[in-house]
Structure formats: C-alpha cells, structure tokens
Amino acid sequence: MQNDTYDRLLWIGIALVVAAIAILPFVQANDSTQSAARLLGRANDRQAIVEARRYLLRQRYEPVESLLQQGRPQQALLKLEELSRTFPGDAHAFILRGQILADLGAPAEAASSFAQGIRLDGSYVDKTSPLSRRYAISRLVDGIRAKTAASSAGTASASPEMAQNLRYLQSRLAGGCE
C-alpha cells in the first residue's frame, strides 16, 4: 500500500512544489534585474528624445538666435514670424517671441506669447527641464507686477487679457497646472 500509484504521484507533487519554492527567489531576482534594465532603458530613451528635441529646436531657430546675438531683435522677430508660418503651433516659437517682446518693452504681448507657449508645453517653466525659460518668464511677471503695483489703480488698469495671462503665468511659476 505504500508503493501504489497515488502515493507516488503525491510525493512527486510535493517534490515539484518544494523545487518551485526553492527556485522562486532566483526567478524574482532575475525579474527585478530585467525591470531595472527596462526602467534604465526608458530613462535613456527619454533623455535621447529630449536631446533630439533640443537639437531640432536649435537647428530650426538658429537664424533667430543669431539675429538676437547680433543685437537685431526686430529682424529676429520677423524671422520668427516667418518660421511660425512654416511650423504653426510650435511652443518654442511662442516662448522666443515672448522673450523678444519682453526685451523690446512690450510686456502685455510678451505675457500673452509666454502664456500661449506654456499652454502648449509646460516644460518651459519646469525648473529641471533643459528647455526651461523660467527665469525670463519670472522676470517679466515680476516687472509687470512692480509696474502695476506702482500705478495708483493697480491691476485694474491692466487689460483683462493681460491680467488673465499674468495670473496664469504666476500660477504656473508657482507650480500650478492647467
């Protein structure tokens, strides 16, 4: 009775369960190594995408940047308008336009352009983003706030659109989302 088929099947089953339990930690360790490699691969992929995007933007907007370095902001703005027709809806064009307009002394238009660009791509206010233009945006917002605080009417004298753009930019700089 000890050697019948049922007993043998039970002992084989128990041996298989014990073997599976013994192998399980090695399988999990290998699986965690693979998942770590996958995460590292994704991080490398993201980094490659960011670098490719930076390269593309640098190549696309190099004429505008060179005109700005030469101290010709009006020509840079015209070139940017030409590029904007070729690549409509590009967030970087709005951000560059905002920087140029801020330098030319048009804060309302600059705030509007910055707000449009950030609505399209919020990485321009992200502190850790390589595309971050946080400092320029913050400088514009602080300048507008200082001007409106110095005026007797405060923000009431600003146009409703400018006030809305200013609040939006302040919110995004403070870490808010859409």
- DSSP class per residue in the chain: -TTSHHHHHHHHHHHHHHHHHHHHHHHHHHHHHHHHHHHHHHHHHHHHHHHHHHHHHHHHTHHHHHHHHTT-HHHHHHHHHHHHHHSTT-HHHHHHHHHHHHHTT-HHHHHHHHHHHHHH-GGGS-TT-TT--HHHHHHHHHHHHHHHHHSTTGGGGS-HHHHHHHHHHHHHHTT---
Per-residue tokens: 76: 């840079």
| CATH number of 61-178, picked from 1.10.3330.10, 3.20.20.70, 2.40.480.10, 1.25.40.10 | 1.25.40.10
CA separation for the pair 103, 111 (Å, rounded): 12
| pLDDT score recorded for residue 155 | 46
- Residue 37 CB contacts under 8 Å (≥ 6 apart), including other chains: none
| pLDDT score recorded for residue 40 | 64
| pLDDT score recorded for residue 74 | 92
CA separation for the pair 92, 73 (Å, rounded): 16
pTM of the model: 0.69
| pLDDT score recorded for residue 109 | 92
| pLDDT score recorded for residue 90 | 87
CA separation for the pair 164, 170 (Å, rounded): 10
Question: Which residue in this structure is represented by tokens 């030409």?
Answer: 82
Domain boundaries, the chain: 61-178
Task: Walk along the chain (178 residues) in steps of 10 and give the mean pLDDT of each run.
Answer: 72 84 69 62 77 87 91 91 88 91 89 91 85 87 81 60 86 76
